[in-house]
Amino acid sequence: MAVVEELLRTEEDGALSFGNYRLDAKAKVEDYEHDGDLYKVKTYRELTKLEKNGMFAYESQPGTSVIGFRETEDGVAFRVEAAEDAQITVGLEEDTEYSVSVGDENIGTMKTNLSGKLSLSIELEGAGETAVRIVKNG
């Protein structure tokens, strides 16, 4: 299982990994610099939350471990693992349609709300790492 022991780290390919869903007590890392941006992560068994420059980027309930989190102009991609199924919300462009894939399955098109948040439920219990890809349409 791929928990992020250091809570927030930069991978060799430049992507971020964060979160430790095995922690019983809340833990956080603040002011983590990555590509000119400042990140903050809070994580434990019940919640994992990532902020970029003080703005919402990712949240899961219950907590998750996220590997290879990469944002582009067109969306976001990462692998996620948890002890149980999770509700995941990511921060994207507001009022925009995205194609969403979980694992090898395209689960369809979803639209962000006026604050740019897109939420999805993912079956993670016993699944190991699961790939998530969210790409802007058009």
Give me the domain span that covers residue 14: 8-136
Q: Is residue 37 part of a domain?
A: yes
Q: Is residue 3 part of a domain?
A: no
In this predicted structure, the answer to whether residue 1 has a pLDDT above a threshold of 70 is no
**CA–CA gap between residue 103 and residue 129 (Å, rounded):** 9
Number of domains in the chain: 1
Tell me the DSSP string of 8-46.
EEE-TTS-EEE--TT-SS-EEEEEEEETTEEEEEEEETT
Q: Is residue 1 part of a domain?
A: no
Look up the CATH number of the domain holding residue 46: 2.60.220
Tens of pLDDT, residues 13-72: 999 999 999 999 999 999 999 999 999 999 999 999 999 999 999 999 999 999 999 999
The structure tokens listed for 77 are 């991609």
Q: Are 132 and 122 in contact (CB under 8 A)?
A: yes
Tens of pLDDT, residues 84-128: 999 999 999 999 999 999 998 999 999 999 999 999 999 998 888
Q: Is residue 55 part of a domain?
A: yes
Q: Is residue 50 part of a domain?
A: yes
